[in-house]
Amino acid sequence: MTKSQELFARAQKTIPGGVNSPVRAFKSVGGTPLFMERAKGAYMYDADGKRYIDYINSWGPMILGHAYEPVVKAIQEKALGSTSFGAPTELEIEMAELIVSMAPNVDMVRMVSSGTEACMSALRLARGFTGRNKFIKFEGCYHGHADAFLVKAGSGVATFNIQTIPGVTAGVSMDTLTAPYNDLEAVEQLVAENAGQLAAIIVEPVAGNMGCIIPAPGFLEGLRSICDKEGIVLIFDEVMTGFRLAPGGAQQRLGVNADLVTYGKVIGGGMPVGAFGGKREIMQHISPSGNVYQAGTLSGNPIAMIAGYTMLKTLNDNPGIYKELDDKTEYLHKGLDKALSKGSTPFVINQLGSMISVHFSDKPVINFASAASANNTYFNQFFHSLLDQGIYLPPSAFETWFISAALSKEDIDETLAAVEKAVL
3-state secondary structure of 418: helix
Q: Which residues are part of the catalytic machinery? A: 142, 237, 265
For residues 123 and 2, give the distance between their C-alpha atoms in angstroms, rounded to a whole number: 44
Contact (CB, 8 A) for 221 and 196: no
What is the identity of the amino acid at 9? Answer: A
134-147 in b/e form (b: 16+ CB < 10 A) is bbbbbbbbbbbbbb
Half-sphere exposure of 348 toward its Cβ, with a 13 Å CA cutoff? 21
Q: Collapsing DSSP states into helix, strand and coil, what is residue 283?
A: helix
CB 155 within 8 A of CB 23: yes
Following DSSP, what letter does each residue of 2-24 receive, concatenated? -HHHHHHHHHTTTSGGGSSSGGG
Residue 379 phi, psi dihedral angles, 5° rounding? -55, -40
CA 140 to each of CA 43, 178, 369: distance values in angstroms, whole numbers, following the listed order: 30, 10, 8
Burial class (CB in 10 A: 0-12, 13-18, 19+), 68: buried
Q: What are phi and psi of 319, to 5 degrees?
A: -65, -15
Q: How far apart are CA 359 and CA 396, in angstroms?
A: 11
Residue 203 has phi, psi (to 5 degrees) of -150, 145
Q: Which parts of 131-204 fold into alpha helices (H)? A: 155-159, 170-174, 184-193
Residues 6+ apart with CB under 8 A from 10: none
> Cβ(60)–Cβ(240) under 8 Å?
yes
CA dihedral sign of residues 394, 398, 403, 408? positive
For 185, other C-beta atoms within 10 Å of its C-beta total 10
Edge to edge, the sheet with strand 355-359 lists 348-352, 355-359, 401-402
